[in-house]
Chain A
Amino acid sequence: MSGAAAGLLVLTGVCILILLAVVGAYNKLVTLRNRFKNAFAQIDVQLKRRYDLIPNLVETAKGYMGHERATLEAVIQARNQAVSAGKAAAQNPADGGAMAGLVGAEGVLSGALGRLFALSEAYPDLKANQNMMQLTEELTSTENRISFARQAYNDAVTIYNTAREVFPTVIIAGMFNFASAVLFEVADSTQKEAPKVSFS
């Protein structure tokens, strides 16, 4: 074989190797992205559970604190907002905007719920209600599960973001539009809102 032909072959070989490296990096990013999308699905299951419990909670509370309409309505509104934000995020967990929207809506919901619970402190009958106790128990349990799933999701997101930012994978990430993923941080409602107790 002539020198030129041999040279051409070597060139082809080198090109193939580079191509393979690119494909390998691309596949790795896809795998990691799928992994955090899947981790989000677990959060979604738990969030749905929470959203299903809230209407019942509000109904029970209405029986005892009917005139606290503002607070109750705030909870329902926040819940509906969160439901639609949740749906948007579930469509595409890799979309930073949708995820940020969900995190925001969840924060609002947690705040509203926190105010509701703080208010219910003043209604001992409500607190002693069987249904209410079960619901509160279920909600707490769901909160635990959400934070657990959140932890797993954030782990997966961190791994993805790190892999994405490393050189030379960062070039491929740029080429194929692998956006940075958003962590799911929810403010702890119990810490934020100091209960407003009025003695009037």
Chain B
Amino acid sequence: MDFFARQEKTRRNTAVLLVYFFAAVVGTAALVYVVFQLALFLLLGQASSNHPSSVQFVWWQPSWFLLTFSATMMVVGISSMAKIIDLRRGGGSGVAELMGGRQIQPDTSDFYERRLLNIVEEMAIAAGMTVPPVYVLIGEKGINAFAAGYTVRDAVVAVTNGAMTGLTRDELQGVVAHEFSHIFNGDMRLNIHLMGNLYGLLVLTLIGRGILRAKVRGKGAVYVYMIGGALLAVGSIGLLFGKLIKSAISRQREFLADASAVQFTRNPAGLAGALKKIGGVAYGSQLSTAQAEAASHMFFSNGLRSSLFATHPPLAERIRWLEPSFNGKFERITQEKLCQALPVNEVAPQDASSSDIYTRSINVAAAGAALQPTPRSPSPAGPSNPDKLMATIGAPLQGHVQAASQLIESIPAELKAQARDPYAARAVICLLLLDNDESVRTNQLKILRGQADPAVFAEFSKILPLRDSIPFEAKLPLLELTIPALKQLSRSQYLSFLADLLALIEADRRVSVFEYALERVLMNRIDPLFGGNKNKMRTAGHYAFCGVENEISWVLSAFARLNSDPEAAFKKAAASVPDTRAKFALQPEAECGWKELDAALDKLSGASFYIKKWVLAAALVCLMHDREITIEEVELFRAIADSLDCPVPPWLAATSLNK
């Protein structure tokens, strides 16, 4: 099942979850009624003991039943909905902060943080998705991790302090790959819904607890406390239902994520090593935060002590799946032994006190923290077969990780250091936008000097000589590296930076493909943070090709125009789309503008994953029609895939440098 089918499937699974949840709520509501009747019975019993006349107690009273039933439904339903909306709005960062996470700054110089960031960067570039923000749960000594967010776009990866410092590089890579797999399998959306729905069931316990804590006086006090206690009891039944639901849904997803992680890294030993450490360390994977229960299904390993309704398959079983020879015994690992567990080639940086202490310590950390050569696997499918390429979307292979790490290596170290620093990242982007044409370049320099922030221009002048040492296929990865840093800008800083960018792009009165791709990626990733249209991605409004014929035509026309034979390429691409009723027309050259493509992509980003898959597949057919892949076509494809929120690994290599 490919990436697109998996994303669709989890959308359906979310509906199944709702059914389970509804059943649980009905059960809980019925129980509330029973409790209520019990309270009444006891009340009347007390009252009737004073008045000897016996009153026959009626257990079934439709009006009361309806009342308590609807009240419970309302409370649970509304709080669930509110929680889900809240979680969606907060995005992955909201969940991470809820768990007590602190974001790792992109330009950190701490060895462990740098190592983790390097790993996440490599894997993100290998998978073709934007580098997600990385959070560390500082107070947590257990080894655990999770990925949160509603879509691939606002995904966030969080790792406990114990995992960050206690695992070796390979093991950490396995854990990160596992989390990325959750992102690709679409589990995060399901997890958010799960968290929200279960919150509704939990709310009864919270209310009960609140009532019990409140100091009530008077004769009715006992009954108030009784109600509180009863709500607590009922709430814990609701909690039980919740755990049942969670364990039913999340267990096989964990196995799936393990499998995908192995495919990604080709290194089962890493993942197995991490799991063994969890089994051997005193804290295991336990979390001390109070929110652990709410999000227990999202973690790498079981975050709670009890395993009655476990959200994860047992550790031993998971290890045995990765390493069949495992004997089931966990070797006890003490905390000190964990810290000494770093292999020789991962030495921590010396406390270099020299002029370039900053770059030096970064380089030493980076060198120690860089990818260790793993046995080579055959490189991923070359640019000959569109189907094979489509299959790697959302399912990156180890060859991609190798390629990504090589790409990152090929970028000069100083540029990388600048790219990760919010202050200088702006200059790096300006550098990327410098045109090849001499005259245009002088014009751009003039604009920068005149209009841009003098600080940006100063930094820019410093890195100007490095411009020619950026290999052309590393330009987009370098852009990817700057994104986490740019997200740290404040709103006014971002707006002035944007103004400079647009001025640079318009310097030559035309927008090249690379400039378009750069602008598009920035708009998709960063603009929403500063008040741009956030909700464009949210609703999948289009499920049939008929509704988006025009938009698909625009996209395919853009690719056809880059081809040597536009009509034939377009015809072949249009023919590959499975819906025969839809009519696509090659747009006339004069009207092929970037604005039209923008509008088309915005509409398509709300289409179903099925449609997105075929748009990308058709684009690939169009691209490969003339057997010569130019760098422009690669960049355009990247821009399109990014707008459609589909992670495309860096397998597409330009076979020629023609512009």
Interface residues of A (CB under 8 A from B): 1-2, 5, 8-9, 12-13, 16, 20, 23-24, 27, 30-31, 34, 38-39, 41-42, 44-45, 48-49, 52-53, 55-56, 59, 131, 134-135, 138, 144-145, 148-149, 151-152, 155-156
Contacts of A48 in B (CB 8 A): 109
**Bound Cα distance from A31 to B488, whole angstroms:** 15
Contacts of A135 in B (CB 8 A): 355
What range describes how many residues of B lie at the interface? 35 or more
Could you tell me which residues of chain B, from 50 to 95, have a CB within 8 Å of some CB in chain A? 63, 66-67, 70-71, 74-75, 78-79, 82, 86, 90, 93-94
Contacts of B357 in A (CB 8 A): 52-53, 56, 138
Contacts of A5 in B (CB 8 A): 63, 66-67
Tell whether, in the assembled complex, residue B105 and residue A42 are in contact, meaning their CB atoms are under 8 Å apart: yes
Interface residues of B (CB under 8 A from A): 63, 66-67, 70-71, 74-75, 78-79, 82, 86, 90, 93-94, 97, 102-103, 105, 107-109, 353-358, 421-424, 455, 488-493
Q: Which of A31, A49, A52, A148 is in CB contact (< 8 Å) with B422? A: A148
Tell whether, in the assembled complex, residue B90 and residue A39 are in contact, meaning their CB atoms are under 8 Å apart: no
Least CB separation from B491: chain A residue: A155
State the Cβ distance, A147 to closest chain B Cβ, in Å.
Answer: 9
Known: A5-B67, A23-B82. A16 touches B74 (CB 8 A): yes
**Bound Cα distance from A151 to B493, whole angstroms:** 9
Known: A42-B488, A155-B490. A148 touches B455 (CB 8 A): yes
Q: Which of A20, A49, A134 is in CB contact (< 8 Å) with B355? A: A134
Contacts of A9 in B (CB 8 A): 67, 70-71, 74
Known: A13-B74, A41-B103, A149-B423. A27 touches B86 (CB 8 A): yes
Contacts of B492 in A (CB 8 A): 155
**Bound Cα distance from A138 to B360, whole angstroms:** 13
Least CB separation from B71: chain A residue: A12
Contacts A41-B105, A152-B488 known; 6 new A-B pairs at CB < 8 A: A9-B70, A45-B105, A45-B109, A52-B353, A52-B357, A152-B422
**Bound Cα distance from A148 to B493, whole angstroms:** 9
Contacts of B355 in A (CB 8 A): 56, 131, 134-135, 138
Contacts of B354 in A (CB 8 A): 56
Tell whether, in the assembled complex, residue A45 and residue B74 are in contact, meaning their CB atoms are under 8 Å apart: no
**Bound Cα distance from A149 to B488, whole angstroms:** 9
**Bound Cα distance from A148 to B459, whole angstroms:** 13
A-B residue pairs in contact (CB < 8 Å), sample of 25: A5-B67, A8-B71, A9-B67, A16-B74, A16-B78, A16-B79, A23-B82, A23-B86, A24-B86, A31-B94, A38-B102, A39-B490, A41-B102, A44-B105, A49-B358, A56-B353, A56-B355, A59-B353, A134-B355, A134-B356, A138-B357, A151-B490, A152-B488, A152-B493, A155-B491
Contacts of B78 in A (CB 8 A): 16, 20
Contacts of A144 in B (CB 8 A): 423, 455
Tell whether, in the assembled complex, residue B455 and residue A38 are in contact, meaning their CB atoms are under 8 Å apart: no
Contacts of A30 in B (CB 8 A): 97
Q: Most chain-A Cβ atoms within 10 A of its Cβ — which of B75, B355, B455?
A: B355
**Bound Cα distance from A103 to B65, whole angstroms:** 62
Contacts of A23 in B (CB 8 A): 82, 86
**Bound Cα distance from A42 to B489, whole angstroms:** 10
